[in-house]
Structure 1
């Protein structure tokens, strides 16, 4: 005798409901994730969490220490057809000293492109003590075809960093930027190469107080 499998219509409906709930939950989680991005960025800038540099509330530190630290500069692109790089690969500064460094960006595409940079520092523990006074990060920048833009960053390392046991022997801090396309330039991103790192030779720093 051949057994026939009887499908329960109620069971089918239950499966559809469960699947619908799962899809709705997944979509809701994605929406929450997108909404959390700007809030997370604000939190990181305020606290230095995850190697994000802090936004300085004052232009200068309360003191300058007789201790040097090397600052290395890194630049990357993720879907933006730009040549993006630091003018100087590294500089040596005094802890607490306010300095200015420069990045440049050149649009290599045949039409205007808008980009936006994110940033962090390594080691991550140094994030809360790396204070940026002026920065081009999280700002939409539009470049015409072939246009080059100077992008300064002004910062200082908080002298309180020397009180952190894990950083007592710190010699180098790396400031890294990654340039992304904004949403309206998404087609450009899809036709551009994947993330890349631009390497430059050492040059003399153009520093300001």
Structure 2
């Protein structure tokens, strides 16, 4: 399939009355497709995918189109959203420790899901020590988090079933070594009815 076909197949999944945060609609996406403005159409469809209960196939179409257009960050975001369909959405307000403090980063946190720090979500080992779990970070609305900075992030745990007890208001800590590297307050935690709901061969 070429890019226009992939985008049109994705568009077929969107309910007609869906509107994005900026007020864009399926009709807008189709109009840009009709004028071969593929990148704009893709951006609209990505936004619409966050406005309705999108499925795995939807994000697969968009990811393939983004890859064919060499839009690496958009492709990564589509893969991220695909995983959230499977495992749920965890969003948190993260505050990094200042770079002069033990545990503080001296480089920025990349915002596109590459960093995989450990997290203390309140579980303990049989010996009574914190049981830390890996989760990738996606930074919302900015390309990265500067050292000592803060912002809203999305988390993608490598063992998502362990995170299902989290709810808004819970406080968790980020670790890259033993000292705390950041503190996050959960602002949204929404999980599918079953962890394999909608799974279509990851």
TM-score category by the smaller chain? under 0.3
TM-score, with normalisation over the residues of structure 1?
Answer: 0.25
Greater share of residues in strand: 1
TM-score, with normalisation over the residues of structure 2?
Answer: 0.26
Q: Using CA pairs below 8 Å that are at least 6 residues apart, which structure has the higher relative contact order?
A: 1
